[in-house]
Amino acid sequence: MTSETEKRNKMSQFQKDVISFLRLQYGKALAEADATEIYHSVSAAAMCQARKNWGRLEEGKKVCYFSAEFLVGRLVSGNLVNLGLADQTEELLRENGVDASVLEEIEDDALGNGGLGRLAACFLDSAATHGIAMNGYGIRYRYGLFRQSFENGFQKETADRWLRFGDPWSVRREDERVRVDFKGQSVWAVPYDYPVIGYGGRTVNTMRLWQAEPMEEFRFDLFNEQKYDKAYEERNRAEAISAVLYPNDDTDAGKRLRLKQQYFFSSASLRDLVKKYEGKYGGDFSHFSEEYAIQLNDTHPVVSIPELLRIFMEEKGMSFRQAFPIIRQTFAYTNHTVMAEALEKWSVKLFRSVIPQVYRYVMMLQRSLLKALEQKGITGQAQAPYLIMDGSLVHMARMAVYGSHAVNGVAQIHTEILKKSVLKEWYQLTPEKFQNKTNGITQRKWLLQCNPALSRFITERIGSGWITHLDQLKKMERFQNDPETLRRFGEIKRRNKQVLADYIEKVEGVTVSPDFLFDVQAKRLHEYKRQLLNAFSILDIYYGLKEGRIAGFTPTLFLFGAKAAPGYFRAKGIIKYISEIAKLIDGDPAVRGRMQVLFLTNYGVSYAEKLMPAAEISEQISTAGTEASGTSNMKFMLNGAVTLGTYDGANIEIVEQAGEDNNYIFGARIEEIEKIRESYDPVKLYQSNPRLRRAVDSLVDGTFSDGGTGMFRELYDALLKGASWHQPDHYFLLKDFDSYQETRLRANREYQNPELFYRKCYLNMANAGKFSSDRTIRQYYEEIWSNR
């Protein structure tokens, strides 16, 4: 008895709370509990710690980050690290005979999709870490994007039930629910608050996610009349709004649902802010933009601009002249795409069928814009590039630029393209609005948490200051010529490769060798990201090895991680094509020990936490001028991988920081592409290059089977004939094929000199300081939010 008492006395309060929660909730000791029970008890105990500082930043301006997605990943691990409880948790588990990795069994990768949502999560972490009052606002999706599996090489989608283990990190605020109205439907928006814990736990902000619920959940009268489906109809219609991120929108029904989602969280969030503001200032809204800064993360929440105008005028009695300057001073807009076709537009008919009450205020904004243009001497046809309502379309990006005081791109080249091309006329009209804010990632998540061995290695040499000030990594440069340092760095990379290999065997049932070079492309599946170019290159290497044309090749594992949108036929065709190449290589004994291709299943944050530390080559091969920024490139760099990529997005800045000699850059640059685009003849290029022709022809010559779906024929035609609005080889895969292959093989050869290659990897890690989201958030705060 005494020993048990002594043991308990030595425990921290957090550890005691874990034991108490287990006994109270489950009647179990720690050694008897399963993974879910431990997860809930650890989370509940940590929440007790987080509540001490939750929401204390009440004074001063509050930043509100409106985003359709937040990809926060596994909540328990990140929160324990930031609260300083990770070591205590591991100690408690170990002393009770429980494997410390037990929490990894809980797949609670929360919400979101990819880069946009992960960026938002990084920003929230950075703001809380640096004491900035910034809260996130979005939707509490019942299901994640989707859970990906493969059947005969085809992507299959099922519901991603991320809530199946429960949700111990949220607090439902029933008393703060808000009514949101659509044409023919009204729903409750019920907020769930999640703590956003800064490193050290001193600042805890809030991520408020809204869940759609019916005004009346169950019609007993209809049920009693035996109309069972009708009895639940209102509940089902409401729950559809917050069911899934980015529902398939290839029909009007899908488009209406997406617009409903956008209005739902925008309206609920604005009503929440207005209510809180009135509690402090009463009915005088002249200080609203001093109290709140609202950052619109892409066009999804841009409907907030006419909605706030509607609230101010319709419900608070303000005139347009009073309301609009306040609105403009409140909102700022982040653009995330350089492709004009990706800028969101809604048909007027559809817009009016969903939120007709807002349409009136869109027209007011249009009239105000026309008047402003006329005052600048812009009349007639010259007004066309500015129109918010252009014919039968509502242009959300144009409304965002007009209704905000700041517009920013997310990498230097991206911002310049916005100024020179995508939003050229707007830049000429209001150049003072346009800024650049190069994206960043949080080093707490993407180094400290996911790569503990490298983190300890860095801290041993330069101290722990890098955890909150990543620019201190530059101090690691002084050890670049120290053989022992490079040897240790290489050993860490080798161990991380083994960790990934073990994880792949567990998850995929596939054995991979950590002795292979790990060449990784992990990002959303899209034609412009050119996973198909990577596949053509791999197939050409296969033929080159078989024929003896390629000699001295380093055995390589080519890893892909990506999800294709369910309705994106060509993207799903690329997945199937890569799986066919993987099957060909795996079935050929002549190359089986020299190359391997694997498409990872259900790639997400938890997989990325294993993948980033193990990668040695980071594939960033988008067509120059198409990727706004990228953040996977930064995660790979921070964990000591070289970039094999084009001069695109943040790759340019990565090369500026780490040196082009320490990376592998290939392909046409944007200036060349702009020059040749009209005269480009991909068919001629295809016909004149036998190796390229053989790779492309494999789509249709019977080398591979697409199961009779026509997927491969469509990919082939898109390259040589064009597809929908695309020109032939719209993303210049054929143009860049030779340059890519030459550069890739050079990297492969140089890998055989470990001192040379790992020094490049090391210098990338040491020069990743610029790419912290801490830096990005400070720039937002100082240059956009705090000066209004």
Task: Kindly list the catalytic residues.
Answer: 336, 523-524, 529, 631, 635
Enumerate the β-bridge partners of residue 332. 295
Question: What is the β-pairing status of strands 556-561 and 517-522?
Answer: parallel
Residues contacting residue 560 through CB under 8 Å, at least 6 positions apart: 520, 521, 522, 531, 534, 578, 597, 598, 599, 600
Question: Is 219 in contact with 234 (CB distance < 8 Å)?
Answer: yes
DSSP-assigned letters across all residues of 313-378: IIIT---HHHHHHHHHHHEEEE---S-GGGS-EEEHHHHHHH-HHHHHHHHHHHHHHHHHHHHTT-
DSSP-assigned letters across all residues of 523-582: S---GGGTHHHHHHHHHHHHHHHHHT-S-SPPPEEEEEE----TT-HHHHHHHHHHHHHH
Phi, psi of 382, deg, nearest 5: -65, -15
Phi, psi of 338, deg, nearest 5: -100, -5
Q: What does the radius of gyration of the chain's CA atoms come to, in whole angstroms?
A: 27
Enumerate the β-bridge partners of residue 596. 557
| Helix, strand, or coil (residue 214) | strand
Question: Is 134 in contact with 124 (CB distance < 8 Å)?
Answer: yes
Question: Is 74 in contact with 86 (CB distance < 8 Å)?
Answer: no
| Whole-number Å distance between alpha carbons of 494 and 511 | 16
Torsion of CA 105, 108, 112, 118, to 10 degrees: -70
DSSP-assigned letters across all residues of 425-444: HHHHH-GGGEEE----B-HI
| Whole-number Å distance between alpha carbons of 369 and 546 | 64
| Whole-number Å distance between alpha carbons of 666 and 560 | 20
Question: Is 263 in contact with 354 (CB distance < 8 Å)?
Answer: yes
| Whole-number Å distance between alpha carbons of 174 and 134 | 22
Task: Kindly state the DSSP code that residue 783 receives in the 8-state scheme.
Answer: I
| Helix, strand, or coil (residue 156) | strand
**Closest by CA position to 385, among listed 337, 336, 343:** 343
Sheet containing strand 642-645, edge to edge, reads 595-599, 556-561, 517-522, 617-620, 642-645, 664-665
| Whole-number Å distance between alpha carbons of 264 and 354 | 11
Question: Is 470 in contact with 775 (CB distance < 8 Å)?
Answer: yes
**Closest by CA position to 628, among listed 658, 656, 653, 605:** 653
| Whole-number Å distance between alpha carbons of 333 and 418 | 13
Question: Is 603 in contact with 522 (CB distance < 8 Å)?
Answer: yes
| Whole-number Å distance between alpha carbons of 99 and 102 | 6
Question: Is 773 in contact with 441 (CB distance < 8 Å)?
Answer: yes
Task: Determine which helix (DSSP H) or strand (DSSP E) holds 678, and give its type and residue range.
Answer: none
| Whole-number Å distance between alpha carbons of 284 and 668 | 56
| Helix, strand, or coil (residue 781) | helix
| Whole-number Å distance between alpha carbons of 352 and 766 | 53
| Whole-number Å distance between alpha carbons of 406 and 741 | 41
